[in-house]
Structures are given as C-alpha cells and as structure tokens.
Chains A and B, each alone.
Chain A
Amino acid sequence: MRRLSLGKWLLPLYVALAVVFLVTPIVQVIIYSFNDSRRNNTIWGGWTLDKWLNVCDQQGVCEAFGTSVAVGVVATLIATVLGTLLAIALGRYRFRGRGSTSLLLFLPMATPEVVLGAGLAAQFLAVGMPKGFWTIVIVHALFCLSFVVVTVKARVASLDPALEEAGRDLYGSGPQVFFRVTLPLLTPGIVAAALLSFALSFDDFIITKFNAGQVTTFPLWIYTKKTPPAEANVIASAIFVLAIVAVVVVQVAAAARRKRLGITR
C-alpha cells in the first residue's frame, strides 16, 4: 500500500487556498468596478463599462485621486532625497550620534500610526500651522523617510568602498565621484525606495486622517462614503493593473539585461 504523501497533496492544496484567500478581495474589487450600481455598490446590478468611461462624474473622486498622487510625489521626492543622503552618511561614515540616529529612524516604523498621527496633529496645532495639503506632505515624508533609509542603506552596505576610492584615485573630485560613481550604483536601491515610499504615502489613511484638515485624499474620500461607489473600484483596479504591468516590465527588462550581459544565475 502506498503511504499518503503529505507533500504531494497537502502542500498544493494549502498553496491553492492561500492564493484564493489573497486574490479574492482583489478580484471582487475588479468585478464590482463593472457593476451597474445605483446607490449601493455592494448589490450586483449587471455589467457596465460606464464607471470606467466616466470615472470623474462621481463628485470628488478624481480630485481626491489627484491630491493623493500629488502628495505621494512630493512626499516621495523629499523622503528619497533626504533618506538617500542619510543612508549614505549612516552606511559610510562613523560619527558621533550615528547609533542614536539609526535608532531614531526606526521609531516612525515602530510607532503605531494612531500615535504618530495624533502626535503630529498636536504638534501642528501647537505651532499653529493650518492643516491641509502641506501638513499631509510633511507627515508622509516623515514616515517614508525611515523606509527610504532602510532600503538605500542596504544598497550602500553592498557597495564596495574601493569603487569610490578608485574614483578618487582616478582624479575624481568629491562631487564628481558622488555623481558619476556612487549615485549611479545606488540607483536601483533609490528607485526601489521611491516606489515603496510612494506606495506607502498613497495608501496611508490613519496618519493622513489626523493631519488632513479639509483636504481629501483618495483613501479619505473612500472612507467618507457610506458605501464606496463603483468609481472607487475603477481607480483601485486601474492602480492594481498598472502595478502588475510595472512589475512585469521591470522583470522582463532585468532578464533581458542579464541575457545581454551574459550573466547566468
């Protein structure tokens, strides 16, 4: 008699269940973006392309989306530039306060968002800064900074210091070595950090909620609706599809590049 093989049946079953569990909500969102809903998008009303073709008809959705993108871009820019410089400093040099700086940078990641959001809101109140677009940008840049530093620092650590020394040895001044050697070699890490940073900013609800004032970002807009309209599903689905396309393009490009360089892995 053959023994029951756990690996043969149980593992694929487990994987299948896990995939279904992960994908179901996304698929649901995509399907309901085609729902011909009236007032409530939880009730199926038949297929339609209307919501996809006239997304902006719904009051405020495109405006909120635009705000989210703008916040994400500006916050990402700030966080990426500052975070990259910090990561290089922390990864390359030994200085007073290096340890405590590293620790402090982990704090925003470790602190519960509610605490961070409420605390920041209190600070803005204390200094009398009116809440709005720029307060959102500031708080987003703040919590993205930690993630950028962690991501870029890993790249800095894997960078052979001899490369920069070779740059200096080959008559490169400080700025020349930085822009021609260090920065190009850190680029993959910086790009990854920027993408992560944008995704975190776009996604954030709790911290934003505390510091947005009258401004509405996309997650805030969805939250204000009793039941999110199908237009929200359209935008969510579009972002999902874009993200998948981006990942596939990057993977294919990387594979092509490896093939071109003759690197086999």
Chain B
Amino acid sequence: MAAAGAFAEAGADLELVGIHKRFPGFTAIESLDLTIPAGSFFALLGPSGCGKTTTLRLVAGLEQPTSGRILIGGKDVTDVKPFRRPVNTVFQSYALFPHMTVLENVAFGLRRRRIADPSGKAHEALQLVELDHLAQRKPQQLSGGQQQRVALARAIVNRPALLLLDEPLGALDLKLRRQMQLELKTIQQEVGLTFLHVTHDQEEAMTMADTVAVMNKGEIEQMGSPEELYELPRTVFVANFLGQSNLFTGEVRGDSGEVVVVDVAGVGVAVPKARAQRHRGRVTIGIRPEKLLLHPAAPEPAAGVNVLGPGRVVDVSFSGVSTQYTVAIPGIGDVIVFAQNMVFGPVVNAGAEVWVSWGVEHGFGLADEGPEGDERFADDTSTGSLARQTREELLEELGEA
C-alpha cells in the first residue's frame, strides 16, 4: 500500500469495527467498536488483562482479530502485514536493538523503506527528543528515560499515520514519568500524529489524552473526555477506576421532574435526572469525595443539598493539599471526604460526630444494577483492588441496611 514508502502527511483516523479476539482458552476482546479521529491523543485505560494491549497489537498487526475489521485512514488493513502498515509502536520494554547504536536504531525503519537521507532524518528525530549527543551510544549505555525517548524517536521518525504507545512510561520513576507525560503531549501536538496510548495509570490517561476510553473485560465501559469521565461516570467500574467515589445503592422512591430521589438507608438522596443512567428500580448513585462537605453540627435542610449523618470520623489522613476523612455512617458504611487544607491541622479529629452534605448537582447515577444479580459486579477478580473494595463496601452496606 501507498503508506509504505512515503511519510504520512498527518495522522489518520483509526476505525475498529466489531473486533473480537479469542486466544486458546480465553476471550481477550469481546466486541469492540472504536473510532479515533485523526490527530487526536487517545488513551485506552484499563486494568491489566482488560484487553487494551491486545487491541494495540491488533492495530499494529502483531495479532490477527478473530473477527472484525481494522481501518486506518479509511483503508482496510485487517489482512495487511505489520511491516506494511502505516503504524509504529513504542513498546513497553522499548525493544531497542541492543546490537545497534542509538542512531542505527532510529534509522532502522527509514532504511527498510529506503527513504532518502536516513541518518539526517534520524538525527532530526533525536534532536526532537534531545538525545542527539548520544547518537553513537549503544542502548545499554542509556538510562531508562533516555531509552524511552530513543524508542519514541525510532517510532515517530517514520511519521506513521498512527503511533501506538504501549504503557511507554510504566518503567520510569514518578518524577520522570510526569516530565515525559508533558513531553509526549508536546511532541504529539508538534508532529500532529494520531496517538493511541495504552495505560493502566488513570492519572496518566487523564493528563495526556483528549479522549479516554475505559476498558474492562474486553469491552469499552465508557469513552469521553477526561473531565466527562470523571464528572459523570456511567458505571461502577469507571467511577472507581478513575479516581475515588462514594457509592450508595438503594431503591428509587421518588421522581420529581428534575431529580430522582433514592432511598439510601432510609434517607432520601436526590440525583439530577440528567446525570442518572437509570430512573427506576434499584440504582447505584455516587459522589466524588472532594464534592463533600463536613459539618460538625447538623446542617439546616436546604433545597438542592443532600445530607447524610450523623456519622463518626474514623480516620484522618493528611496528604499535603488535602486531608482525607473517613466517616462511618451507621447503615451506610464508610464515606470518604477530601477537604482542602485551608487551615492548619484537621478541621475535625477522629472520633468527632459529623454530617456530610453535597450539592445535588454533583451526584451521579450509574447504569449498574448494584451488587445483586450483576455478574460482572459480583464475579470481578481482574479489575483491580478498587473494584473489589467497592464490592466489599457495598456488600457491607447491604448487610447493615
């Protein structure tokens, strides 16, 4: 195809249509439909084993889908060999060729495609990642961060229509990772390629990507901008995988035009209808910990404010910008509150009796039915500790209610 032999002018759309991938013994991808617009920075976020790396390998051509089509820039590449696809990958292990110098590594793709002046272009790419002075070194002589940047240069020097990044920052320490996140974002904007980034780090996905798709068990749970995913998660999994959430399950007992009222251990909690996935039956609703306010005395009932309590502060932990309070509310369980540190020392101490409140507009209602009868929810072992934790919390609540 034309892409081999020429540079892509700009990024290309990636379309995955009805992708299904079975390995002997298990299904990695259940059913995947995904469109990534040209020039965007797209993140596939999910716990290990959710099928995100398999998705990436399918796009790169290193695996074949059991069924479904892959289109890059409108062209069907499903049966195209990896070395003929206008796609390059930054591997998790970097996969730099140890027997070649940095420069030879970067020029490898150019030479295979017989592009004029491979060394010159490789030097340019190394300048972009600020490593041109190390061009004659062998990969083993570089630090992890430097190797990561060589791997990036080796991929983008080919100007692929689509750049795939497989947890490229996983092996770096926290500070370097932050720095590389910003650099990657800058480089993406500079070169204007389509980036498909796979990660299990929700913070990384939110910082870098324009659009994040949260994957779980071979399917996309929810897709949207980072703000959208955070402010309005649609499933328990998303609510817990992206940041923390306080979740409550109960029957809907009222429906008044704008809001639905959910019975949470005898207390009516209102959620905007527009922010709730379901308006009837047993529902799970949630609120982010930083949206909650702590009150040392019962607050006056007011329109547009939900109040729970009284409860007892069981844990106070200081984390710099904010303090995390864990409040045990009888019949409901533990509620986590993040409070900004506006004063010196905690506002309340462990053991204090408190109420929590939040503006109705911040709540969200999830699509999951809750712990009962939801197989994904009850039988969740691979979605990480957060999801398990939620399940335990919810079961506890259920037991107490």
B-chain residues with CB within 8 Å of residue A184 when the two chains form the complex: 99
Contact A163 B141 (CB under 8 A): no
Contact stretch, chosen from B83-91, B167-175, B219-227, B272-280: B83-91
Chain B 129-159 interface mask (CB, 8 Å, partner A; 1/0): 0000000001011000000000000100010
Contact A162 B93 (CB under 8 A): yes
A217 and B62 alpha carbons, distance in the complex (Å): 51
Give the number of residues in B that approach A within 8 Å (Cβ atoms).
28
Given A162-B93, A176-B112, verify A169-B98 contact (CB < 8 Å): no
Interface residues of B in 95-111 (CB under 8 A from A): 95-99, 108-109
Residue ID in chain B nearest A170 by CB atoms: B109
The answer to the question of A50 belonging to the interface, with a C-beta cut-off of 8 Å to chain B, is no
The answer to the question of B314 belonging to the interface, with a C-beta cut-off of 8 Å to chain A, is no
Contact B141 A262 (CB under 8 A): yes
Expressed in whole angstroms, the minimum distance between the Cβ of A129 and any Cβ of chain B is 42
A-chain residues with CB within 8 Å of residue B154 when the two chains form the complex: 170
Interface residues of B in 47-86 (CB under 8 A from A): 60-62, 81-84
Contact of B83 among A163, A171, A181 (CB under 8 A): A171
Contact of B97 among A171, A181, A262 (CB under 8 A): A181
The answer to the question of B187 belonging to the interface, with a C-beta cut-off of 8 Å to chain A, is no
The answer to the question of A261 belonging to the interface, with a C-beta cut-off of 8 Å to chain B, is yes
Contact of B89 among A169, A176, A181, A263 (CB under 8 A): A169
Contact B87 A170 (CB under 8 A): no
Expressed in whole angstroms, the minimum distance between the Cβ of A258 and any Cβ of chain B is 10
Contact B140 A261 (CB under 8 A): yes
Given A160-B95, A162-B95, A262-B141, verify A168-B113 contact (CB < 8 Å): no
Contact A261 B141 (CB under 8 A): yes
Contact B87 A160 (CB under 8 A): no
A-B contact pairs, 22 of them (CB 8 A): A162-B93, A163-B95, A165-B89, A166-B95, A166-B96, A167-B97, A168-B61, A168-B82, A169-B61, A169-B62, A169-B82, A170-B83, A170-B109, A170-B158, A171-B4, A171-B109, A172-B83, A172-B108, A172-B112, A173-B83, A185-B99, A261-B138
Interface residues of A (CB under 8 A from B): 160, 162-163, 165-173, 176, 180-181, 184-185, 261-263
